Structure 1
Amino acid sequence: MDIHVLRPGLTEHAGPRMFRVRGVAVDIEDFPQPWPGELAGRAAAVATVDFPAGSIALESPLNRQEQRRAGRWMHALPLDASSPPVLGDGDRPHVLALLTRVAFDRMVTLVGLARLCDASSLPRSAGDHLWRQAARQLLELRCRLMGDATTGDKWLSARSRRLNLSRPSFTGDREFRTALAASGLPEVDAWQLAALRPATGTREASLAGKSYLMNRHDRLLAEWTAAKGPVGELVPVYGADCLVRAVRRAELDLIVDQSVFQEVVR
């Protein structure tokens, strides 16, 4: 059980602290009281686009910790029945649209990377693994579109059963697009939406008169790829093997291009 305590006067998150109560693990975390309202205000300020399946935010301004909190606050129940919910009825649709966008972006990047692996000389099993992850992420996206934003892989099976959703299965881009359209979402080209850019946390370093790239894992790379742009445009220039290697070595990050996303979905 997770318990979030909203404390007046607190300025930083504190915890978690774990206890066992009658054999049940209880995590207690303290949060500043204004944080849920601030989250709701930020969410309400983000424009959304509506599809038959539901609404998706045009931006995704939440970091990983905020995503985790938002998912919990969406479904939180007050310990005192007389207390108001953490997020009001008018706030939840806006927050849900943000979390739905997060799931959409993860799905697109997984599909983009799966296609890269398929186009490279890596064993087929590498792409197969990523296609399975992309299928799982489409199921996550569908759950969120239907209003269930509970976070964590361990809950996905129970959530999908509750919503009467089955896990999709696909091993290639054509099957993925078919599954996406069947879910009430627009058919998208992951290589158009996904872009490569220099990885977060990289920096150039000089050692013994030579230049290196230091990645976010503090590994020095004597050679690296400085590509930037849509995946579909970069593959013919650099080749799939080069780009997959750059992603695996944290030289490049695969992201969803915000401007292209807005052009495609509007």
Structure 2
Amino acid sequence: MAGYWGRESGFSTADALRVVGVRRQEVERLAGSIFADRPAFLVGSLAAGLGNEGSDIDVHVFTEGDAPVGLMELFAGERPVEVQQFDLGIPRGLMAGFRANAAVRQLKIGPCAVGGEAPARATQRRMAHWLYALPFSADQMPARVFAEDDESWVHAVLVRGAVEETLLCAATAILAEETGASATAYTWRRTGRWLLETVVRAAGDLFVAEKWLPRRIARAGVAASLAGDLYGLTDGAGFRKVLGRLGVEGLDPKDVVVLRRPDDAEPVKIGPARFILLTKTRLVQDTGVPAGPLGDALADVGPEAVLRAVGSQELIPRVDPSRLDAVLSDQL
């Protein structure tokens, strides 16, 4: 898979641990019976070739059918070694779900999944860890967490996740910009950072961790001029311009992001006043802002009312999977 840095370079667990001055055998000795007859992998920034001398050592051990145990923290000298156990059914179940419900489409920036929303951010992070996982033993089976023919699916799903995050950030930035909020420039910078993350993932560098983004930009071969434009994004006009440059100009947050009432929201009337009860404990003013596409709400009631509804959590911005699928299909 293009950009799958660890596999392409022949980078090994021993190579990764050498960065922090720890031998593979030392970790195996610390883990003891935890590793017995189980596939064990080094994960995290060290496995992805991004770690430094201050990095922790993260290890995932896999079982079949056994009850997973909680996080165990060991120490190699003063170096934390965090060991966590998982059932192999977790990555296999993820892949079965993706293959049953999604498809991979090739955009101008790279592959992207269509057919259902991306998994939660924590799941995406775990998928990235497993994609770059390095085996402790060359003979262990499986030698990879994800099968080789699953890696292109993981790539596409992680790009989809970054696209959705970009759109949600852009929706917030639009509200800030259209209400003249002081946070406008900041929210657009966050949007630019997420769009840059999307570009980096699409180019094949898939380790999900913002702190390593500058190194990942270089590793993915993203043009310095594009990275500079995205780091310096400050307004909606710049956002639309760079979307066109990337060939995904159809990604309009006003069309793809929808406003939804929380599942537990209950209308409450007290005299002539109307409220919304949230989480059974919090009463907020019913602003009258309609649920539905962000663009429709802005046109119907204006940005100030929409911002109040979102700020009180009367309405929650969400990416509509079917709307995004339609847009992505048009961008092929």
Length-normalised TM-score, structure 1: 0.88
Residue of structure 2 in register with 1:100 after alignment? 159
Asked if 2 retains the 8 angstrom alpha-carbon contact of 1:116 and 1:244, the reply is yes
Residue of structure 2 in register with 1:204 after alignment? 266
Residue of structure 2 in register with 1:77 after alignment? 134
5+ residue gaps, structure 1, are: none
Instruction: Sort the Cα spacing of 1:127 and 1:28 in 2 relative to 1 into closer, same or farther, 3 A.
Output: same
Secondary structure at 2:317's aligned position in 1? strand
Structure with greater Cα Rg = 2
Q: In structure 2, what is the Cα distance between the partners aligned to 1:218 and 1:73?
A: 40
5+ residue gaps, structure 2, are: 1-56
> What do you get for the CA RMSD once the two structures are aligned?
2.4
Q: In structure 2, what is the Cα distance between the partners aligned to 1:258 and 1:135?
A: 22
State the one-letter code of the partner of 2:196.
L
Post-superposition Cα deviations, 1:117-141, rounded to whole Å, max 9, x if no partner, equal 1111433xx1111101001001110
Which runs of structure 2 are paired with 1:1-266 in the superposition (5 Å)? 1-11=57-67, 13-45=68-100, 46-58=102-114, 59-83=116-140, 84-123=143-182, 126-165=183-222, 166-167=227-228, 168=230, 169-199=232-262, 202-204=264-266, 212-216=275-279, 218-225=281-288, 227-266=290-329
* Farther-moved stretch of structure 1 (137-146 vs 176-185): 176-185
State the one-letter code of the partner of 2:96.
G
Deviation for aligned residue 1:19: 2.6
Instruction: Sort the Cα spacing of 1:61 and 1:101 in 2 relative to 1 into closer, same or farther, 3 A.
Output: closer
Q: In structure 2, what is the Cα distance between the partners aligned to 1:217 and 1:146?
A: 45
Secondary structure at 1:37's aligned position in 2? helix
Asked if 2 retains the 8 angstrom alpha-carbon contact of 1:196 and 1:254, the reply is yes
Q: In structure 2, what is the Cα distance between the partners aligned to 1:252 and 1:35?
A: 33
Instruction: Sort the Cα spacing of 1:171 and 1:90 in 2 relative to 1 into closer, same or farther, 3 A.
Output: same
Asked if 1 retains the 8 angstrom alpha-carbon contact of 2:61 and 2:84, the reply is yes
Secondary structure at 1:91's aligned position in 2? helix
Post-superposition Cα deviations, 1:137-195, rounded to whole Å, max 9, x if no partner, equal 01110111122221222222221122233251222222112222333434422211111
Instruction: Sort the Cα spacing of 1:42 and 1:206 in 2 relative to 1 into closer, same or farther, 3 A.
Output: same
Secondary structure at 2:70's aligned position in 1? strand
Deviation for aligned residue 1:61: 4.6
Length-normalised TM-score, structure 2: 0.72
Deviation for aligned residue 1:218: 4.5
Residue of structure 1 in register with 2:4 after alignment? none
Asked if 2 retains the 8 angstrom alpha-carbon contact of 1:213 and 1:224, the reply is no
State the one-letter code of the partner of 2:172.
L
* Farther-moved stretch of structure 1 (91-100 vs 165-174): 165-174
Q: In structure 2, what is the Cα distance between the partners aligned to 1:255 and 1:203?
A: 16
Post-superposition Cα deviations, 1:186-218, rounded to whole Å, max 9, x if no partner, equal 442221111111135x42276999975333594
Instruction: Sort the Cα spacing of 1:27 and 1:217 in 2 relative to 1 into closer, same or farther, 3 A.
Output: farther
- Number of residue pairs aligned between Structure 1 and Structure 2: 262
Deviation for aligned residue 1:32: 1.0
* Farther-moved stretch of structure 1 (156-165 vs 212-221): 212-221
Deviation for aligned residue 1:82: 2.0
Dislocated runs of 4+, deviation >4 Å: 205-212
Q: In structure 2, what is the Cα distance between the partners aligned to 1:71 and 1:225?
A: 41
